Structure 1
Amino acid sequence: MPTTPQTTDELYQALQENDQRPYGRARTVTAEELVDAAEQFDEPVPLIHALLELQEAYTYGSEPRKSPVVFARLLTLFDEQPDVFDERLRHLLFWRFKWVAHALRQLPEIPLASLRQWLTEMRDRYEKAGLGLQPYYGQAYQLAAHVGEDTTAAYELWAARTRTRLSDCEACETCQRALYHLAAGDDERALRAWEPVLAGKESCQEEPARSVSHALLPLLRTGHADRARELHLAGYRGCRRNPSMAAEVGRHLEFCALTGNEARGLELLAENRGLFDEVDSPSDQLDFLTGVEVLLQRVESLGHGALPAAGYAGRTWTVAGLRAEVRDRADDLAARFDARNGTPAHTERRRARLDRAPLLDALELTLRPRALDELAPAAPAAAPTARTAAAVPESLPELVVRARELDELGHPDARACWDRLRTLVAARDHTHPDDPAVGPPARLRADLLDEEASRAGEKDEYADAAALHEEAAGLYEDAGRPGDAAISRAGALLATAELPARGDGAAEAKAAALTAAHASIVRLHEETPGLTPYQEARLLRLRVTALALRLQTTGSEDHVAPVLAEADLLHAFAERHDITGQVSGALLLRASTFAISGDLPAALTEIDALLDRLKARGPAWHLPRTLGLRGRIQLGLRDARAAHADLSEALRLAADWPADAIDTGRLHGDLAEAAMHLGRPEEALRHLTRSAELQLRRGSRTDAYCAYSNAAQLSLDLGRVEDCIALLDSLLAEPDVAAGELDDRLVAQLRLTRARALHAGEDLKAATAEFVALAAESAGWDDDPGSHAMIAAETAVLLGESGEFDRAREAADQALAAHARDPRHELLSNCLRELARLQAQQQGPDGLAGARAFLADAGRVADEARAAGYEAQGRPLDTALAYEHGRVNAYAGAYEESLAALDRALALLGEPGNDGDRAGEWAECVRLAGAVEGIYLERPDPALTRLDAAISRLTALGHADETEALTALASRLRDEE
């Protein structure tokens, strides 16, 4: 709390501000300080309000030991000065008898006799106050259920009674009824009882999140897996990281464990690691820890006990170690409750949860399904196919010879051989074989370094690739292999040229570097004696690659012919020496060159000839990549169906080769594009997520996050809001994102999409908080003011929806300032008009001045757009502004001004034509003008004249649908006459 309140008005303001904070230590500490501040005024009412706030903070901050103490002070004040409790305060006091009963049940150190004594106190107080006893019987039933007694009689005494004003809310009582049927083993009846809450028809502070967590397993058992999945996503978001809902989090972890989603369970556990230390309720601790143990037990049973797990602060945990710790603590808690209650109920319930077998082998919960194998601290190399595994020789000399042979061919199986060699050479007992076929140790080390450099280059790690190639070149020279050294040096030159340049002339600088690299490789080629045909072909391939990358960088027509000339040199040489892989490589480069230059028909002709050759003469492993390029060319030619067929065939053929040999992530990404063109968004979403995860496994993290960003946006466009949020939550929790290692703009895009999804999911508070944070961060994007304008504008609208118009004004001013540097006319106009509408709608006449100020800004934006010759993609800005003046003035009761503005809008629109959208806009403007004139200004005759003329005009143009609202309004006006 920044300053201590000096007046009761300041105290009430501080209490109101604290009520807006999320539950947790920060809110609780402030509530404690406000109680201290209230005591200085020596007035009972401010102190009562402060104590009520403190008890709420303790209750929902999971500190049940403190809640009864605060309530005792309130009860004393009531007994001493009942007259200072008005009707509202009295209602709150008697309501919170239930809070105390709940808190006492959560504490095993409180004797059972004390719990019953408290219920007697509650009953006596209610009877003395003339209050109905249904709430008391509700608490008596919950105590019986907690203890493990026969609840039949207690349930009937409560459930059969009429609700009162002090009864728990409908949602909470619905949950208790459902849990009664669930305990009786009747899943179907429990779910029927729960339906109003699960469907969102009833809710409260803790509902539907609490009911959802209990309903997940019954839904699975009754065959409603899709509903369970949907509710898991929405329900988990409602309880995550919330100390007062730790038990619910535990049930979501259990759900993951029983549906084949152990990896997601560990991910959620990490997100909620704070609950190990923040939950002060023994009852909630027991439920949370039991859910955690169900998950850890399942992971350990699958052979992954050594995986890292998020647990208690102060040490590093494995799954097995944390499970042992959790088991001991939870067993102790269950035993303490059973000792207090005199029944084995808590131990038996805990055992029943731990003994449950998985309900489904696999249920895809999110757009990012992951397996436990992917969570290993150091993921092993991609497993080879059965064919590859059989091809790897056992003896080291044979393995070296085989790796080199396959490498010369460019065969995908070479990678498995190099992986095996790398493991053998790194072993402590490794001895280099004295075998002429293997050669000296320096050559083998160089082979391994050069292969590692190639992998680094595939991941765009060009600095590492260049250094590894140079080191390999030196070792090759030591081993007397000048040709191999030349190839490695050429690789280093190319990798160095690929290093990203910065600044305005980045493309030109990179093109120059590639030109220089090409010249250096040519010199290496010419000056290196004794090259074998394989080595010479490799150098020719590097030469043409340098020029192809230059063309890709510049797109210059002048750079096309040099690539084709070098590709022809490679092709002729490879044909002469029967180097099949390089022949197809040269032809593929020719096709790519035509594609980059924009000559797609020529590219298609080239690629078709290459496919015919590959099918006849091989190599077969070039087919997936070639079909992938053909698919991309077909996309360029706007033949999405042919592209989809090519890309699907490429994926099918890629499955015949090791997983890391072909860029299947790219194929899935291209298939997503083809599917979108074919109107198959759900299929596109599957390919996008698959592409992203494959890119992650390859180490291409930026490409992966870009693909996932597109998937998140697509899922939001499809209305799959919870899928979108769950996906983004998972990505934003990744270590490199949390550590700030990923590009900050890409992270901002992920967060922006998440904020929009929260808004779409009607979580306005969370969405606004994220938008405000993004607006503050993007204010520093001096190189991209347009993006800041967009974010600030969206932030302003959300603040307006929340009724915070002062803050909305500040955000709108930020957007306008950024717009002045990088104009976003339509975006700003839409934002300002919407803010005006919201303020007038929410505040009526009191908000008219603020609303008109927003419209004045929108008018200046429209003037700027007109002067700049800007044409809006949607409604013309002047017309939309005139209509909004009409609507805003109508909301604020300024009806004459409203009608005048609407007439201006109609004049700007002109007469409706054949365009349905324009006719609809015109009809709506006429309708609002008719309503203002006929209803609010009480001038029905001119309003009817206006409406009848519009109806006739629209009917003559064939816009029958647009006349319905006008006809209904005209009928109403005539009826009122």
Structure 2
Amino acid sequence: MPTAPAPQNTDELHQALQENDRRPYGRTRTVTAEELVDAAEQFDDPTTLVHALLELQEAYTYGSEPRKSPVVFARLLNLLDEQPDVFDERLRHMLFWRFKWVAGALRALPEVPLASLRQWLTEMRDRYEKAGLGLQPYYGQAYQLAAHVGEGTTLAYELWAARARTRLSDCEACEICERALHHLAAGDDERALRTWEPVLEGKESCQEEPARSVSYALLPLLRTGRTDRARELHLSGYRGCRRNPSMAQEVGRHLEFCALTGNEARGLELLSENRSLFDEVDSPLDLLGFLTGVQVLLQRVERLGRGELPAAGYAGRIWTVAGLRAEIHARADDLAARFDARNGTTAHTDRRRARLDRAPLLTALELTLRVRHLDDVAPAAPVAAPAAPAAGAVPESLPELIVRARGLDEQGHPDAQACWARLRTLAAASDYRHPDDPAVGPLARLRADLLSDEANRADEKEETDAASLHEDAAALYEDAGLPGHAALERACAQLPAADATGQGSESAEEKAAALTDAHAAVVRLHEETPGLAPYLEARMLRLRATALGLRLQTTGDKAHIAPVLAEVDLLHAFATRHDLPGQISGSLLLRASTYALSGDLPAAVAEIDALLDRLKTHGPAWHLPRTLGLRGRLQLALRDAQTAHTDLTEGLRLAADWPADAVDAAQLHADLAEACMRLGRPDEALRHLTRSAELELRRGSRTEAFCAYSNAARLSLDLGRVEDCIALLDSLLAEPEVAAGELDDRLVAQLRLTRARALHAGEDLKAATVEFVALAAESAGWDDDPASHVMIAAETALLLGESGDFARAREVADQALAAHAKAPSYDQLSSCLREIARVQAERQGSDGLAGALGFLADAGRIADEARAAGHRPDGRSLDTALAYEHGRVNAYAGEYETALAALEKALALLGDLGADDDRVGEWAESIRLAGVVEGLYLQRPAPALTRLDAAIARLTAGGHTEEAEALASLAARLRDEG
């Protein structure tokens, strides 16, 4: 089925060709190009047919379909021979350029005899000589054939490299890459890297460069000790070739780089992202390079003993690492053998074997902000059991294990988690036999214990089924004849049920009322259950205090403080009387938290300090990390970031002594990130943010993890680490729950927005525009959040303007204006509109003036609305900024008198500035531009100099030397030209 209606005339066909040229290479572009050739053949216009054939050959070449490219080129040569007048100078240049494309396509096909390759080069030489063209391009292709075959490369290189370049030579970047590869093949890493420098530094580039060069330079960079540079280029270079069939070899080399630097997990992640290449790459040579890189990766994973891990491979089958490696081994060996048979050498088998035999160059190189391990790519499984406690904490004897678990649980000891995990596994086995031991009790009690532990973990994660789990545990305890335990479980069920109130439409008052009722229910259960063991009664008292503490947190009502403290005092007195160290510590922690909630931070710190002293003397030691974490948060609230950093760092150090679930290390890392930001240490903050996200992910808190990663991505972008930001977000957005739509859509949109901004910052304007346009379309439907749509649409309009698509920029800007009417965003929208106006006037001059003034008119209405609403801008005055932009826009369009009047208006609005006025820079810039317009464009140097000299004197007197120097430089120019 055609992808679009067939063009009805040559004008429509040329328009369709232009539209197709803007598409990315791939099947859609190729199929469309084929259809357009069919359409061109219907018209009696050979020139149009030539254009269509050229587009089709380009689609085949960069879509990795080398078998079809020579066929199309043969048609073009026939047209040249039969109708040479059809080819103007530009078309002739394109045609002769593409002799090289055909040479490359034939090399990539092992079924094409070597004699045919050489015959084609002879055809190329003869055609070039007949046309009076220089032969350097021919010798370049002769060298590439020699390098491909593996014979005669030295002479062929000298014959090519010694010749002067011509108009038909490969671009500088491509030739630099070939010269560097020659030195690399000779074993000279340093010379290869020196040769590559202009490409790797971005001074020379083309469609495939620097991505191609980067992929080859990665290992030489490692071998010469330039690990940071290798890491940087891996991130940027991979993004330039991923999912691109014509750069499959380059993708393979990035996979190899991951395998040789201890980043096997990232390699598997990138392999999954490029799974389509197994089926889309039609070039045998490209496929050989890709498969060899994949095999290097899989072979490394298998040697690490993880051959059972899943791997992305050929469609239609579920692959393991070991299974896919075996499949690839056979296929790639066959391809290498076919090329060697055609070439009469062993070059491809030897090169392949050298790659597969290469030992890892580094044991671990941190490539991205998201550290990945092979355990992270294992098949989805239930959350792992807590880390094992100290040796001896989990007894081998089942009765001893049950008794040990209960004893640790009574103390609130973290090692109880491992015991319960072991018991859960044993009890779930089909051959489980419960001990007939009075000290252990009936099976119903063990079932209740395990369910209680599950409910407590659900409480910690704020899961919705926590209350029902507690109720189920209570019923089992009743069956086991333990009414005290049953009462405690029912009391525990009250808090998650009450805490769920207030979610959605319910108000804070309703939640507070639910917590009041929960407290009353716990008190009733406490009073109605006689004979409670001390540790159970202490837990009842703690639940009572916690319920009222949550109510205080919900309302902030000062009247709710005293009831909390009263319950805390009851708990503390009871725990002290019965010598329950864990509950004594818990009561003191609750008291400190209550003071913090009431706003009395010094009292909260005093309580925490007293608690820390007690914990160091009497324990329990596992409460120290949590207590230090609270003290750190209090110090952050008191604006003592250094002390907070010290407390939180110590808390993390001590947390390492206990099982992972015993301490909220993710929160400690998140708080440390905040402390680091306040101390001006953003790189350290970034490490803590990513560590916090990793820990949240490992304990199954996916949303919290993605939020932490989102914060890390934004921070990395603020720090200018653009490629780090993009790599992190690419990894997150490839997660299965994102693809399946299981993650909150607004959180995903935030991740995509940050990625789009990073692409923009990295000057990948095309990719950034695609993402912004998609986000603008989606956010238009966010009726509950028009402010976000204003933000996204405004940025999208600006990006479209920067791309030169001012018509679409106008459409999206109108969307932003419509959303702005619902949720005003004066500063950002005005700034974007002014910037689009500037870009349009700068790009289009007088032709773009009307459109630019339209954007400025919108910005003017926004300024009027802001003034009427009493809005105070975050930065520059909207009115002065608008006047200045009118000056710039009119100056670009050649309307100099209007520009000067606008700039004088801006200066009048700024008025007299004080010595320390933060608008000095804006004022000086307005003076400078007015001087340029008046002195240079209007050729009135005298009044311009009068204006400039007065401003220079004023700025100098105020100590604003930098601004004064800029004006002095302009004044000197005006005097020199006068």
- Give the structure-2-normalised TM-score: 0.99
CA gap 1:200/1:916 in 2 versus in 1, 3 angstroms: farther
Corresponding residue number in structure 2 for 1:48: 50
* Separation of aligned partners in 2, 1:945 and 1:656: 74
* Separation of aligned partners in 1, 2:333 and 2:455: 53
Corresponding residue number in structure 2 for 1:842: 843
Of 123-132 and 552-561, deviating more is 552-561
On the 8 A contact 2:176/2:195 being kept in 1, the answer is yes
Q: Give CA deviations for 1:100-141 in whole Å, capped at 9, x if unaligned.
A: 000000011111111111111001100100000100010011
Corresponding residue number in structure 2 for 1:472: 473
Structure 2 residue aligned with 1:370, among 360, 369, 372? 372
3-state SS of the aligned residue for 1:606?
Answer: helix
Of 574-583 and 203-212, deviating more is 574-583
Q: What is the Cα-based RMSD across aligned positions, in Å?
A: 1.3
Q: State yes or no: 1:210 paired with 2:212.
A: yes
Please give the residue correspondences for 1:699-710 in structure 2 after superposition, counting only pairs within 5 Å: 699-710=700-711
Of 745-754 and 382-391, deviating more is 382-391
Q: CA deviation at 1:500?
A: 6.2
Of 701-710 and 125-134, deviating more is 701-710
Corresponding residue number in structure 2 for 1:481: 482
* Separation of aligned partners in 2, 1:186 and 1:916: 59
Q: Give CA deviations for 1:712-760 in whole Å, capped at 9, x if unaligned.
A: 1111111100000001111111111111111111111111111100000
Corresponding residue number in structure 2 for 1:37: 39
Amino acid at match of 2:690: T
Q: CA deviation at 1:662?
A: 0.7
* Separation of aligned partners in 2, 1:565 and 1:185: 79
On the 8 A contact 2:388/2:659 being kept in 1, the answer is no
Corresponding residue number in structure 2 for 1:355: 357
Please give the residue correspondences for 1:442-481 in structure 2 after superposition, counting only pairs within 5 Å: 442-461=444-463, 463-481=464-482
* Separation of aligned partners in 2, 1:522 and 1:974: 90
Unmatched segments (≥5 aa) in structure 1: none
CA gap 1:916/1:209 in 2 versus in 1, 3 angstroms: farther
* Separation of aligned partners in 1, 2:769 and 2:502: 37
Structure 2 residue aligned with 1:118, among 92, 117, 120? 120
Q: CA deviation at 1:529?
A: 2.7
* Separation of aligned partners in 2, 1:320 and 1:271: 19
Corresponding residue number in structure 2 for 1:69: 71
Corresponding residue number in structure 2 for 1:600: 601
On the 8 A contact 2:388/2:418 being kept in 1, the answer is no
Corresponding residue number in structure 1 for 2:276: 274
Amino acid at match of 1:150: G
Structure 1 residue aligned with 2:236, among 230, 234, 237? 234
Corresponding residue number in structure 2 for 1:174: 176
On the 8 A contact 1:916/1:959 being kept in 2, the answer is no
Q: State yes or no: 1:745 paired with 2:746.
A: yes
CA gap 1:383/1:499 in 2 versus in 1, 3 angstroms: closer
Corresponding residue number in structure 2 for 1:938: 939
Corresponding residue number in structure 2 for 1:424: 426
Corresponding residue number in structure 2 for 1:295: 297
* Separation of aligned partners in 1, 2:74 and 2:607: 87
Corresponding residue number in structure 2 for 1:757: 758
Corresponding residue number in structure 2 for 1:873: 874
Structure 2 residue aligned with 1:25, among 18, 24, 27? 27
Q: CA deviation at 1:497?
A: 2.0
Q: CA deviation at 1:382?
A: 5.8
* Separation of aligned partners in 2, 1:418 and 1:300: 34
Q: State yes or no: 1:4 paired with 2:6.
A: yes
* Separation of aligned partners in 1, 2:377 and 2:735: 12
Amino acid at match of 1:519: A
Of 949-958 and 157-166, deviating more is 949-958
On the 8 A contact 2:515/2:547 being kept in 1, the answer is yes
Corresponding residue number in structure 2 for 1:620: 621
* Separation of aligned partners in 2, 1:23 and 1:493: 60
3-state SS of the aligned residue for 1:582?
Answer: helix
Q: CA deviation at 1:875?
A: 0.4
Amino acid at match of 1:216: L
Q: CA deviation at 1:502?
A: 4.0
Q: Give CA deviations for 1:396-454 in whole Å, capped at 9, x if unaligned.
A: 10000000000010001101111111111122321111111111111101111111111
Q: State yes or no: 1:580 paired with 2:581.
A: yes
Corresponding residue number in structure 2 for 1:390: 392
Of 464-473 and 91-100, deviating more is 464-473
Please give the residue correspondences for 1:142-181 in structure 2 after superposition, counting only pairs within 5 Å: 142-181=144-183
Amino acid at match of 1:456: A
Corresponding residue number in structure 1 for 2:672: 671
Corresponding residue number in structure 1 for 2:692: 691
Amino acid at match of 1:437: A
Please give the residue correspondences for 1:301-380 in structure 2 after superposition, counting only pairs within 5 Å: 301-378=303-380
Amino acid at match of 1:556: D
3-state SS of the aligned residue for 1:695?
Answer: helix
CA gap 1:797/1:80 in 2 versus in 1, 3 angstroms: same
Of 551-560 and 959-968, deviating more is 551-560
Of 910-919 and 817-826, deviating more is 910-919
Q: State yes or no: 1:909 paired with 2:916.
A: no
Please give the residue correspondences for 1:390-789 in structure 2 after superposition, counting only pairs within 5 Å: 390-461=392-463, 463-499=464-500, 501-789=502-790
* Separation of aligned partners in 1, 2:766 and 2:340: 41
Amino acid at match of 2:766: K
* Separation of aligned partners in 2, 1:60 and 1:550: 64
Q: CA deviation at 1:916?
A: 5.8
Q: Give CA deviations for 1:63-99 in whole Å, capped at 9, x if unaligned.
A: 1111011111111110101111001000000000000
3-state SS of the aligned residue for 1:390?
Answer: coil
3-state SS of the aligned residue for 2:262?
Answer: coil
On the 8 A contact 2:501/2:510 being kept in 1, the answer is no
Q: CA deviation at 1:943?
A: 1.1
Q: CA deviation at 1:385?
A: 6.5
Of 14-23 and 468-477, deviating more is 468-477
Q: CA deviation at 1:673?
A: 0.6
* Separation of aligned partners in 1, 2:396 and 2:871: 71
Of 251-260 and 744-753, deviating more is 744-753
Q: CA deviation at 1:833?
A: 0.6
Of 491-500 and 38-47, deviating more is 491-500
Corresponding residue number in structure 1 for 2:804: 803
3-state SS of the aligned residue for 1:389?
Answer: coil
Q: State yes or no: 1:200 paired with 2:189.
A: no
Amino acid at match of 1:143: L
On the 8 A contact 2:841/2:889 being kept in 1, the answer is yes
3-state SS of the aligned residue for 2:151?
Answer: coil
CA gap 1:386/1:493 in 2 versus in 1, 3 angstroms: closer
- Give the structure-1-normalised TM-score: 0.99
* Separation of aligned partners in 1, 2:122 and 2:392: 78
* Separation of aligned partners in 2, 1:512 and 1:735: 40
3-state SS of the aligned residue for 2:100?
Answer: helix
* Separation of aligned partners in 1, 2:553 and 2:63: 58
Amino acid at match of 2:268: L
On the 8 A contact 1:250/1:288 being kept in 2, the answer is yes
Unmatched segments (≥5 aa) in structure 2: none
Q: CA deviation at 1:632?
A: 0.3
Q: Give CA deviations for 1:188-243 in whole Å, capped at 9, x if unaligned.
A: 11001001000011000000000000000000011111100000000000000111
3-state SS of the aligned residue for 1:6?
Answer: coil
* Separation of aligned partners in 2, 1:955 and 1:467: 74
Q: CA deviation at 1:386?
A: 7.3
Q: CA deviation at 1:558?
A: 2.7
* Separation of aligned partners in 2, 1:927 and 1:166: 46
